Chain A
Amino acid sequence: MKRTLIVFLFSFSVVSAQNGGTIESRYGIGELDLMSTARQRALGTVTSAVPTASDLSLTNPASWTSVSELRLQGGFSLEHIAVSRSDASITNSAIKGFQFVMPIEESWRLRLGTALLPVSRSSYKTLTEGSVEGEQYTGTYQGSGGVSLFRAGLAIEPLPHVKVGAAYQYFFGTIEQDWELQFENGLYFPSRQTRATRHSGSGLVLGLLYDGIRDFALGVSIQPAAELSASRNLLLQYSTEDSILSGTSGTQDMPMLLHVGASWQMTEKLLLAAEYSMQDWTDATVFDRKQNVLGSSYKVGVGAEWYPYKDELGYRTLGRTAFRLGFYMHQPYLSVSDEATSEYFITTGIGFPIFASNRGDIALEYGWRGAESDLLGSQSIIRATFSISVGESWFVRKRD
Chain B
Amino acid sequence: MRIFIFPLIVLSILLPACQNEPDPTGIGLIPEGDLVDARRFDSVRDSGTVRSSTAFVEVTGETSPALSVGEAEGYRARSLIRWFTIADTIGQGGRIVSATMRLHTAPYHIGDASTPLTIEVREVKSFWSSFTLTSDSLDALDIATEPSGSVTAALGDDDSIDIAIDTALVRSWLVKLDSGLFYENYGVLIEAPGGGGIRAFQSAEGSQPPELTIVIETASGLDTIRGGTIEDTYVATGPDVTGESGITVHGALATRGKLFFDISGIPPASIINHVSLSVTIDRSRTTDHYSGRDSVLVYQNFDSTTAETLGTAVLTRVDGDNPDRLLAEGTMLLRAVQTWVNGKGNHGLVLSHVGEASDIDRMTFFGAEADSTRRPRLVVTYTSKP
Mark A residues whose CB is within 8 Å of B: 5, 8-9, 12, 16, 22-24, 26-27, 76, 78, 83, 85-86, 88-95, 124-133, 135, 137, 139-142, 177, 179, 181, 183, 185, 187-193, 195, 234, 236-240, 242, 244, 336, 352, 354-355, 360, 375-376, 386, 388
Contact = CB atoms under 8 A, between A and B. Distances in A.
Contacts of B23: 86, 88, 126-127
Contacts of A128: 24, 27
A85 B25 contact: yes
Given A135-B274, A187-B329, 13 more contacts: A8-B9, A26-B34, A76-B15, A85-B25, A90-B25, A127-B24, A130-B37, A142-B22, A189-B273, A191-B383, A193-B383, A242-B338, A388-B8
Given A93-B16, A181-B36, A193-B385, A22 B4 contact: no
5 contacts: A23-B30, A78-B11, A92-B19, A95-B16, A240-B335
B179 interface: no
Contacts of B28: 375
A315 to B, nearest CB: 18
Contact of B342 (A16, A125, A135, A244): A244
Contacts of B338: 238-240, 242
Q: Which range contains the number of B residues in contact with the other chain?
A: 35 or more
A78 B40 contact: no
Nearest to A292: B31
A27 B30 CA distance: 9
B274 to A, nearest CB: 5
A191 B273 contact: yes
B370 interface: no
A92 B20 CA distance: 8
B168 interface: no
A124 B384 CA distance: 21
Interface string B322-354: 000000011100110011001000000000000
A236 to B, nearest CB: 6
The 7 A-B pairs of least Cβ separation, nearest first, read A93-B15, A23-B26, A191-B271, A191-B383, A125-B22, A88-B25, A132-B38
B22 A240 contact: no
Contacts of A181: 36-38, 273, 383
Given A12-B12, A86-B23, A239 B34 contact: no
A397 to B, nearest CB: 27
Given A91-B19, A140-B22, A132 B30 contact: no
A190 B36 CA distance: 13
Contacts of B8: 360, 386, 388
Nearest to B23: A88
B334 A239 contact: yes
Given A126-B24, A181-B273, A187-B329, A354 B1 contact: yes
A375 B29 contact: yes
Chain B's interface: helix, strand, loop or mixed, by majority?
mixed
Among A8, A90, A130, A238, residue most surrounded by chain B Cβ atoms (within 10 Å)? A238
Interface of B: 1, 4-5, 8-9, 11-12, 15-16, 18-20, 22-31, 34, 36-40, 269, 271-274, 329-331, 334-335, 338-339, 342, 381, 383, 385-386
A107 to B, nearest CB: 34
Given A76-B15, A132-B38, A133-B40, A237 B271 contact: yes
A137 B273 CA distance: 11
Contacts of A336: 29
A5 B24 CA distance: 40
B302 to A, nearest CB: 16
A87 to B, nearest CB: 9
Given A78-B15, A386-B8, A190 B273 contact: yes
A185 B40 CA distance: 15
B379 to A, nearest CB: 9
A129 B271 CA distance: 18
Contacts of A22: 26
A193 B27 contact: no
Contacts of B16: 16, 93-95
A5 B7 CA distance: 13
Contacts of A133: 40
B274 A126 contact: no
A200 B269 CA distance: 29
B130 to A, nearest CB: 35
B371 to A, nearest CB: 22
B386 A195 contact: yes
A188 B386 contact: no
A76 B11 contact: yes
B156 to A, nearest CB: 44
Given A89-B20, A187-B329, A179 B36 contact: yes
A86 to B, nearest CB: 5
A187 B327 CA distance: 14
A101 to B, nearest CB: 21
Given A132-B40, A240-B335, A23 B25 contact: yes
Contact of A239 (B15, B38, B269, B335): B335
A239 B331 contact: yes
A133 B386 CA distance: 21
Among B20, B26, B28, residue most surrounded by chain A Cβ atoms (within 10 Å)? B26
Contacts of A360: 4, 8
Contact of B381 (A92, A139, A188, A237): A188
Contacts of B15: 76, 78, 93
Contacts of B329: 187
B12 A376 contact: no
A26 B9 contact: no
Nearest to A9: B12
B269 A244 contact: yes
Contact of A26 (B12, B24, B29, B335): B29
A93 B34 CA distance: 26
A24 B4 contact: no
